[in-house]
Structure 1
Amino acid sequence: MQTALNEIIGRILEDDALFSLEELCRSCFLPAEQLLEMVDEGIIEPIDYQQTTTSWQFAGNSLVRVRTVIRLQRDLGVNLAGAALAVELLDEIKALRSNVSRAG
């Protein structure tokens, strides 16, 4: 199990890492229905909506976003809409910090 986790973490570090819906389900230990709800909520986005859901591909940062949502729900009891807002705000903070560090 640890080897699989290391492989996933290594893939996330690659900018071009892609996950299928099935791989994302396995990596996050969630059924596809829950991930589809996250897509509907705008938490994660497939690269090409035009394909069937079984053919969807997700960027590596989708795994991080889903795991963050899982922790928010589990640890703080946040509903999916609240988790979506929190993830967006975390992304905004990250972008602002990046801008500040580049400017300074």
Structure 2
Amino acid sequence: MATHAPSPRSALAELLDEQTRLTLDDLARACCMERGWVTERLEAGLLHGEHAEGRWQFSATTVVRARRLARLESTFDADPQLAGLTTDLIEEVTALRQRLRQLEALLGR
């Protein structure tokens, strides 16, 4: 039986807390992509951030999502929309597994 990582975050996201805010350039560097790649995913609704005073800011969770999108696109030559759907499904499964672990802990299993 396959084992799964206990946390939905990558090592990078664990180093950053949810209060940390990254710029568009920071996010692009974190996923080894160009600024234009990030901007295209923002416009397509595949990535989300806060836009204030002419600057984008992103959370650690967005870093994890962006890196996952980039990895799926490059590894499988996936269309951005397909990579986005796959990422949504991975995030949903991760959240459900976490809830299941919490319920099992409450039930003493």
What band does the TM-score fall into relative to the shorter chain?
Answer: 0.7 to 0.9
Return the TM-score normalized by structure 2: 0.75
Partner of 1:43: 46
Q: CA deviation at 1:91?
A: 1.0
| Corresponding residue to 1:31 among 2, 17, 34 | 34
SS of corresponding position for 1:19 = coil
Report SS of the residue matched to 2:58.
strand
AA of the residue aligned to 2:18? D
- SS of the aligned residue for 2:48 comes to coil
SS at match of 1:94: helix
SS of the residue corresponding to residue 47 of structure 2 reads: coil
- 8 Å Cα contact 2:46-2:81 kept in structure 1: no
Q: Tell me how far 1:61 sits from its aligned partner.
A: 1.3
* Structure-1-length-normalised TM-score: 0.78
Aligned residues between the structures: 94
| Counterpart check, 1:78 vs 2:78 | yes
Cross-structure match for 2:15: 10
Stretches of structure 1 lacking an aligned partner (at least 5 in a row): 1-5
Deviations 1:54-78 (CA, angstroms, capped at 9, x unpaired): x110011111111111111111111
Q: Counterpart of 1:96?
A: 96
The 1-side partners of 2:89 and 2:12 are apart by 28
Name whichever structure is richer in helix by fraction.
1
Q: 1:8 to 1:64 in 2, by over 3 A?
A: closer
Tell me the C-alpha RMSD between the 2 structures: 2.0
